[in-house]
Structure 1
Amino acid sequence: MPLPCSIELDSPGLGWSTLAPCRTLERMYVSEVGDSGSSAYERLIGADRVSGRLYTDPAVFERELERIHHRGWMFVGHESEVAAPGEFVTRRLGRQPVLLTRDDTGAVRLWSNRCPHRGATVCALDRGQTRFFRCPYHAWTFDNAGALVALPGEEGFGPTFDRATHGLAPVPRMDTYRGFVFGSWSHEGQTLAEHLGSARDLIDRVCDVSPVGEISLRAGWLRHRIGANWKMAAENVCDFYHPPITHASSGLMGGVPPDYFSDAYGGVTRDLGGGHGEVDYRQTQGGPRTGLGPHGFIFPNLFIEASSIFVIHPVNVAEMTHLQTPITWVGLPEKMQRPQSRRFATAFGAAGVIEPDDAATWERMQLGLQAGEPEWVVLERGVQFDHTREGRPLDEIVMRGFWRHYRSLMTDEAAAK
Structure 2
Amino acid sequence: MSKFDYNKLIDNEAALQSRSIFWEPEIYQEELKQIFNRCWLFLGHDSQLPEAGDFLRTYMGEDDVIVVRGEDGEVRAFLNACSHRGNKVCHAEWGKTKAFTCSYHGWAYDNMGELAAVPLEESIYDNLDRSKLGLVPVARVQNYKGMIFGTFAEEGPDLVEYLGDMAYYLDVVLDASPEGMELIGTPYRVEIPGNWKLPVENAIGDGYHVAWAHAGAMRVVGTIGQGRSESVLGIGKDNTGFDDSGQLQIAIPPHTILSTLDGQSGYALYDNPGPCIEHLERVRPSVVERLGEVRGKQLLGSETHMGVFPNLQIIQGLNLLRVIHPKGPGAFEVATYSMADKNTPDEVKDIIVKHVGQTFGSAGILEGDDGDFTEAITHSPNGYATRQMKGWLGMAKGRTMDWDGPGEASPGIVNELCQREFYAQWQRTMLAESASDILPQAPIQKESVNG
Taking structure 1 as the reference length, the TM-score comes to 0.86
The 3-state SS of whatever aligns with 1:324 is strand
1:12-411 equivalences under 5 Å are 36-38=1-3, 40-47=5-12, 48-209=15-176, 211-237=177-203, 238-256=205-223, 257-261=229-233, 262=235, 263-264=242-243, 266-274=246-254, 276-283=255-262, 288=298, 290-291=300-301, 294-306=304-316, 307-371=319-383, 372-373=385-386, 374-385=388-399, 388-411=408-431
The 3-state SS of whatever aligns with 1:343 is helix
Contact 2:153 2:435 in 1 (8 A): no
AA in 2 matched with 1:150:
A
AA in 1 matched with 2:306:
G
Summarize the Cα distance change of 1:119–1:358 in structure 2 as closer, same or farther, 3 Å threshold: same
Give CA-to-partner distance per residue, 1:70-127, whole Å, 9 cap, x none: 0111111112111111111011111111000011222111111111011001000101
| 1:339 positional shift | 3.1
Query: What percent identity do the matched residue pairs reach?
Result: 28
The match for 2:287 is none
AA in 1 matched with 2:144:
Y
| 1:273 positional shift | 1.0
Contact 1:312 1:323 in 2 (8 A): yes
Contact 1:85 1:104 in 2 (8 A): yes
Cα distance in 2 for residues equivalent to 1:336 and 1:96: 36
Contact 2:172 2:300 in 1 (8 A): no
**Number of residues of Structure 1 aligned to a counterpart in Structure 2:** 380
The 3-state SS of whatever aligns with 1:327 is strand
Summarize the Cα distance change of 1:88–1:414 in structure 2 as closer, same or farther, 3 Å threshold: closer
Cα distance in 2 for residues equivalent to 1:291 and 1:242: 22
Cα distance in 2 for residues equivalent to 1:253 and 1:381: 29
AA in 2 matched with 1:399:
Q
Cα distance in 2 for residues equivalent to 1:284 and 1:221: 26
AA in 2 matched with 1:375:
M
Give CA-to-partner distance per residue, 1:39-94, whole Å, 9 cap, x none: 61101111211010111111111111111000111111112111111111011111
The 3-state SS of whatever aligns with 2:243 is helix
Contact 1:112 1:170 in 2 (8 A): yes
Summarize the Cα distance change of 1:282–1:213 in structure 2 as closer, same or farther, 3 Å threshold: farther
The 3-state SS of whatever aligns with 1:175 is strand
Summarize the Cα distance change of 1:285–1:333 in structure 2 as closer, same or farther, 3 Å threshold: closer
Contact 1:206 1:293 in 2 (8 A): no
Contact 2:261 2:303 in 1 (8 A): no
Cα distance in 2 for residues equivalent to 1:148 and 1:75: 26
Contact 2:190 2:335 in 1 (8 A): yes
The 3-state SS of whatever aligns with 2:261 is strand
Taking structure 2 as the reference length, the TM-score comes to 0.79
Summarize the Cα distance change of 1:415–1:128 in structure 2 as closer, same or farther, 3 Å threshold: closer
Cα distance in 2 for residues equivalent to 1:207 and 1:293: 16
AA in 2 matched with 1:193:
V
Cα distance in 1 for residues equivalent to 2:433 and 2:110: 42
| 1:347 positional shift | 0.8
The 3-state SS of whatever aligns with 1:220 is strand
Cα distance in 1 for residues equivalent to 2:120 and 2:264: 72
| 1:131 positional shift | 0.7
Task: Single out whichever of 179-188 and 193-202 deviates more from structure 2.
Answer: 193-202
Gaps of 5+ in 2: 224-228, 236-241, 266-296, 402-407, 438-451
Task: Single out whichever of 249-258 and 231-240 deviates more from structure 2.
Answer: 249-258
Contact 1:206 1:294 in 2 (8 A): no
The 3-state SS of whatever aligns with 1:337 is helix
Gaps of 5+ in 1: 1-35
AA in 2 matched with 1:40:
D
Contact 1:132 1:144 in 2 (8 A): yes
Cα distance in 2 for residues equivalent to 1:243 and 1:143: 48
| 1:389 positional shift | 4.2
The 3-state SS of whatever aligns with 1:149 is strand
